[in-house]
Structure 1
Amino acid sequence: MSFPALVILSTLTGLQGVAAITGTEVQLAEGDAHYRIDTATLAVVRILPDGPPVPLMSAVETAGVVGSLETSGASASWQWPGTGLAFLVRIEHEKLVLRVTSHDVTELDWPLASPAAAEWALPDGQGVILPAGHADLAGCRAGTGALSYPAWAYLTAEHSGAYALSDGLQAEICWPEDADGRVRLHYSFTPDAPALELALSAGPADPLAAARLYRERLQMRDGLVTFADKQPATAPIERLFGAPHAYVWGDGRSPAFLDDLGAAGIERILLAYEADGWDEALRPAYLAAADAAGWLAGPYESFANAQPSGEADTVTADWGDLFPAGCITGEDGARHTGFAGRGCELSSEALRRREGAPNVASRYAGHASAGARHVFLDVDAFGSFYADHHPDHPMDRVRDRQNRLERMRSAIDDHDLVLGSEHVGGWAHGVTHYSHGGNSVNLDAIWPLLRQRERFGGYWPEDRPRRYFQPAELTDAEAEALFSPARRLPLFEAVFHDAMISTDRWEFGQAKFPALAPRRFALALLYGTPTLWHLDRRELARIAPQLRAAETAFRAVHGTDAPAAMTGFEWVSDDRLVQRTSFANGLTVTANFSGEVRGGLEPDCVRAERDGESQIVCPPN
């Protein structure tokens, strides 16, 4: 007598490594994990022990012909003859892991389960949650760059389905324009990226489901590099903890400014500056004074742009004869134009091969010898990679990523520098310490705003750019897209809080949007992320009480030790305007964004609780 495979498996749940085949359908079970996979269509369902099945992947449009289907323990493998695609699926720690390989150049377009009533949680910057069909969801996001790390999840009232790629380099995740459409994972197999590995999980409706899955996968591969791992490599790293961040301009690069900063009572701060416009004779003394005060001071640097030597509009773009010899070249032989039409995109491979100065080593050595204790390296950790077809320095996107990892690591290992970068992606967290822009969200909404120079200011005057010092107002829709607590999630912090310091983009300093400053103050304390400022002597005199309040409030809530892992996030109120985070050191932080008193909390105030003690912190007036 034969029985349906599902019945057989249900009686065996709790045993290790059970598999069954019915036609093209495979069922795997291990412990309480039970999955059903259609090997012809790639549809995947999680069978929960106490609830209805949870769909995770939908059927591809064109089913494959299944060959060589085999099972072993809690795993199965098969091929689609004639396509070059081979599949392996297995259960690991109750998660289903699918690995698809191809040694041919081909593509796989794979629809996810897309419940119309679902919300999608994705690490777009720090993290957002939006209902299916929301206009801000529509479009494709690259697994590196557009997503801070390649994981995402959907939530319904009853459950969540979470997805995590081991590598997002060749992947795009595409959301439709309406709630009835399918979310799709698109992967391009190439000789340098022949394998897709996707982990799936299902469970209760947890807003951090994607982050938990991704962090677990990192830890299983020994891929999570926390501050505890980084601490021995860089002496001044402890100065990051509890420190607000600031870019200094004009007379903010003078000894008098440092005196003002000390008089304001600032104990820890990261000071960043552009390399242009310095009196070189004064810079070492400035850096030495900042260092003696216990602060981190250092330059903005970029390895991404090259311009004609002697004509470059910034010293960071002058690479001697690497322009044009080191420019990235397309298949058509044309140079890649640089940011804002300036010069060219400098090939990381050309720079890697550069033996003499100026090169990466000479730039880092120059900063360190002048007394810098940190460097902010623009672009490198963001996640945009290039192929270069120049015959003298060819590279593919994998080589470009490796070059960037090596030169970021060099700042730490070879020059004892704290290193930050722009919108640091998860792939680069192990070779960086802080991220400017990591706490921002909705990058697609940011770029159109920044092009409106009348509202947000340009890059002049050089010693006090309006883009950074001119206050601005956002429309309700803009404020909703960028700073609404109800649609934000700490997905980046839930993976990397104990490994990275994240703050806002430099265009979005704490004083840029005065009407939103209290909300952003509370949000920073809720997530445990520092505030960012733009300063000269005049601005410091104006906002010194707010800067001091931001530092002391952060110190009171989170302390100045290395950050503890974020372990939880919840909406306390149905309107999602009262929120709570929790951390591995026992700290919980509750924030009220409702505009009215809730649970004894005034608007934009937070309550921090730890070891039986409670304190309330509110934004400065």
Structure 2
Amino acid sequence: MKFFSKNSLFFFICININNINAFADSNIIDIQLDNWSAEINLKSLEVMGKTEQNSLSIASPISHLLSDFKNLKKSSNTFSWDYPEKSISVEVKKENNFLVFKFTSKIPQIFEWPSTLTSTNSETNNSEELVIPDGEGLLIPTQDPFWITKIDKYDAYEYSMKEQLTLPLFANITDYNTVTYISDSSLNNTLKFNKNSDSIYIQQEHQFRQKDNLAPYIIKITVDPKQDFLAPGKHFRNLLTQKNELITLNQKAAQNKEITKLYGAFHAYLWGTGRTEESLNLLKDLGIHSLWLGYDQNINEKYKVTKKFIQTAKNYGYLVGPYDTWENIQNPKTADTQLSIFPNAWPIAAIIEEGGKRKPGFQNRGYEASSEYFVKQKPENKDLYSRLKNFKETGINSYFLDVDATGALHDDYSPIHPMNAKKDMENRIKRLNHISKQEKLVLGSETAVYWAIPSLAFAHGNFSVFNSPHWKLTRQNKIYGRWYPTERPEFFFKTIKAPEDYENTKYNPLYRIPLFQYVYHDAIITTDRWEIPITKFSNLKTKRILFEILYGIPSIWSLDFKLIKENKIELKKYSDFFQTYHHKIAELPLTSFEFLTNDKFVQQAKYKNEIIVTANFSKISYKNIPKESVEVNYLKENKKVIYTP
């Protein structure tokens, strides 16, 4: 990874169309917004911001990459100019308190802009923290030696916005302000972590592609005159609301009442004896009346989820559904799972890469399946919906479709079923909506990104952040656990101690923030990754439960009869608390979040005006809250409950 000097970076532009002042040299424009102003250097695309109290760097200059600007124009609501030698045109307009920049290109090229590298102007503030929507959300101090080291160690220099970030945004917190950058789309955008001396900064890159007909690059920028790590979440949620794109759980449940069965439920995947009615009866006898139960199974396994099992689970009030994926196709004669067998798809449905080869599937198993191939089937999606019909006939009331919501979108150069990433996204949204709206199944997927949220009731994986240490650890089979024995895979049931890096990058209260929950808590229910059950790490169990209660989300388990029996006291204690708590909180928005102590080990969340949750992650008590415990204050009932995992 190469690092760029300051003058090679990209910066942000700010403007109020109703108040534009060109200086004598016509290189500088001043723009006044509601509570801040912007100064744009047209020659370098440097943007400086000003509030009543101070000035700040919005975007760093890139003059050596732009050449001279021409055709400066101003209409009633738009300011525009061109960079002819770069074949790039710029339009800027004001929307509410945002500066909206639209870049268009006449040729395929990579355009790197903006950058948070601090200006050398002595009046500007220094960048202090970066807000990154990696999973739930990270707050990374720009001069933290720990993160500088870990970004190096795990080669975490680049984030594809479409599949590695859950929201299409980031933010830069300075000494006194918060600058939020929201992209109109996550497609073709990359966030790059660079280093300058002893600090980290972000540079966003956009790729103009012929495959997308050179679609424009649109980015919105605003300034909050205070430090606020949830500001980007607030702005993004407001934009969703304005466009009627925030579909709440309450609205979703109005279309399918089964969704309310997620309220108060923890989530569990079933293995081996977990698929027996004996296990269901034990769970029911523990007083657990809210559960989401998932399963996958092969024909050779001893214990299978039967129609009778599904009906019993439903009788107990549980949601139950299969794990499925429509992403992978394999030769029916040699496939390692039935889920990769589609009668009419092999090998014609394979995605064709630009070089003409079929795109290998996950871990080189078969091929990646083209969503456009299935769309072109007659009837549409015949193979997929036939699979779905077969599952539905077993009596399921829920469904987990892997990958479709993750943002892992593909180009396909097949002459039979060509598509770009945008078309792939549209295809996936359509089939997710078919499952949830037409088939009325309570639908979940893996680590859902923003555009998939309206189609889903739940997602597994959004809680997880900075997964590079996770992938590294899971590849160490002797430590993490193997995928056998079949009925009780070590991968899920072996309990180990998480390494120090794993704990500090993924579960350290200093760096985690509920950014995703601030946007979507009342719109979708999320959990940690499905392959990280709450029992996996002995040294993280308490901390993870505290985070989950604080963020108002359920824990995820791997269950069989033995584990249920061995953990029945804990299961009952947790479910007794969580069922009551989550039923009250599931449909409420997260309205505020703050650190109550300087060390950030005591954190507090507020849900509307109804519930205040305070988590004490420290090893000592905080006021009336014992160490490593959480207090839930039910404001309407004037009742406080302490829970210690």
Distance 1:30 1:177, change over 3 A: closer
Structure 1 residues 229 and 85: alpha-carbon distance in aligned structure 2, compared to 1, 3 A threshold: farther
CA shift for structure 1 position 450? 0.8
SS of corresponding position for 2:163: coil
1:42 aligned onto 2:45 = yes
Q: Please state how far the C-alpha of 1:551 moved relative to its aligned partner.
A: 2.4
Give CA-to-partner distance per residue, 1:113-144, whole Å, 9 cap, x none: 33465211111111111122523455011111
Aligned residue number for residue 122 of structure 2:
none
The yes-or-no answer on 1:31 pairing with 2:34 is yes
Partner of 2:158: 140
Q: 1:388 to 1:74 in 2, by over 3 A?
A: closer
Counterpart amino acid of residue 366 in structure 2:
G
The residue matched to 1:507 in structure 2 has which SS?
A: coil
Identify the range of structure 1 (254-263 vs 225-234) with the bigger mean alpha-carbon deviation. Answer: 225-234
1:496, 1:89 → 2: CA distance?
Answer: 29
Per the TM alignment, residue 614 of structure 1 is displaced from its structure 2 partner at its CA by 4.1
Match of 2:209 among 181, 185, 190: 190
**8 Å CA contact 1:19, 1:75 repeated in 2:** no
Which one of the candidate residues 154, 167, 170 is aligned to 2:188?
170
Instruction: Tell me the equivalent position of 1:424.
Output: 448
* Residue of structure 1 in register with 2:123 after alignment: none
Greater CA drift, 181-190 or 164-173: 181-190
Aligned to 2:397: 373
2:222 paired with 1:220: no
What pairs up with 1:123-522 in 2 under 5 angstroms?
Answer: 123-132=133-142, 134-135=147-148, 136-137=150-151, 138-178=156-196, 179-180=198-199, 182-191=201-210, 192=212, 194-203=215-224, 204-277=226-299, 283-355=306-378, 359-522=383-546
Count residues with an aligned counterpart. Answer: 605
Q: Name structure 2 gaps, 5 residues minimum.
A: 1-15, 119-125
Q: Residues of 2 paired with 1:506 and 1:43: CA distance?
A: 44
> Deviations for 1:396-455, whole angstroms, at most 9, x for unmatched residues?
111111111111111012211111111111121111111111111112221111101111
Instruction: Summarize the Cα distance change of 1:412–1:350 in structure 2 as closer, same or farther, 3 Å threshold.
Output: same
Once the two structures are TM-superposed, the CA of residue 38 in structure 1 deviates from its matched residue by: 1.9
- Residue among 532, 535, 539 paired with 2:563: 539
The verdict on how the C-alpha distance between 1:170 and 1:379 changes in structure 2, with shifts beyond 3 A counting, is same
In the aligned structure 1, how far is the partner of 2:364 from the partner of 2:157?
26
TM-score by length of 1: 0.93
Q: CA deviation at 1:287?
A: 1.1
1:8 alignment counterpart:
none
Structure 1: unaligned runs, 5 residues or longer: 1-14
1:538-586 deviation digits (Å, cap 9, x = unpaired)? 1111112222222232234343564211111111111111111112243
Q: Deviations over 1:463-509 (max 9, x none)?
A: 11111000011122221111111111111111111111110111211
| Partners of 1:73 and 1:580 in 2: CA distance | 46
Q: Which moved further from structure 2: 608-617 or 102-111?
A: 608-617
Please say if 1:69 is aligned against 2:69: no
After superposition, what is the alpha-carbon deviation per residue over 1:183-202, rounded to whole angstroms, capped at 9, x for unaligned? 21100112425111111122
Q: Give, in angstroms, the shift of residue 299 of structure 1.
A: 0.1
3-state SS of the aligned residue for 2:223?
strand
**TM-score for the superposition, normalised by structure 2:** 0.90
- 1:163 and 1:31 map into 2 onto residues whose CA distance is 17
* Greater displacement, 328-337 / 61-70: 61-70
RMSD over aligned Cα atoms: 2.1
In structure 2, the CA distance between the partners of 1:127 and 1:63, relative to structure 1 (3 Å rule), is: same
CA distance in 1, matches of 2:59, 2:30: 15
Shift of 1:72: 4.0
Partner residue in 2 for 1:548: 572
Verify the 8 A CA contact 1:54 1:202 in the aligned structure 2.
no
Distance in 1 (alpha carbons) for counterparts of 2:413 and 2:254 = 39
Partner Cα separation in structure 2 for residue 559 and residue 523 of structure 1: 18
Question: The residue matched to 2:164 in structure 1 has which SS?
Answer: coil
SS at match of 1:405: helix
8 A contact 2:276–2:303 mirrored in 1? no
Alignment of 1:75-154 (within 5 A): 75-115=78-118, 117-132=127-142, 134-135=147-148, 136-137=150-151, 138-154=156-172
SS at match of 1:359: helix
Q: Do the aligned partners of 2:470 and 2:502 also contact (CA within 8 Å) in 1?
A: no
Matched to 1:582, the amino acid is K
Partner SS, residue 468 of structure 1:
helix
Retained in 2: the 8 A contact 1:605–1:616? no
What is the aligned counterpart of 2:643 among 613, 618, 621? 618
| TM-fit CA distance, 1:308 | 0.7
- Name the residue aligned to 1:3: none
- Opposite residue 125 of structure 1, the aligned amino acid is G
Q: What amino acid maps onto 1:216 in structure 2?
A: N
Deviation track 1:10-59 (CA, whole Å, cap 9, x = no partner) reads: xxxxx99322222122222243342222222222222212x111221111
CA distance in 2 between counterparts of 1:67 and 1:88 reads: 13
- CA separation in 1, counterparts of 2:95 and 2:259? 35
Letter in 1 for 2:141: P
Which residue in 1 is equivalent to 2:57? 55
Q: Is the 8 A contact 2:279 2:561 kept in 1?
A: yes
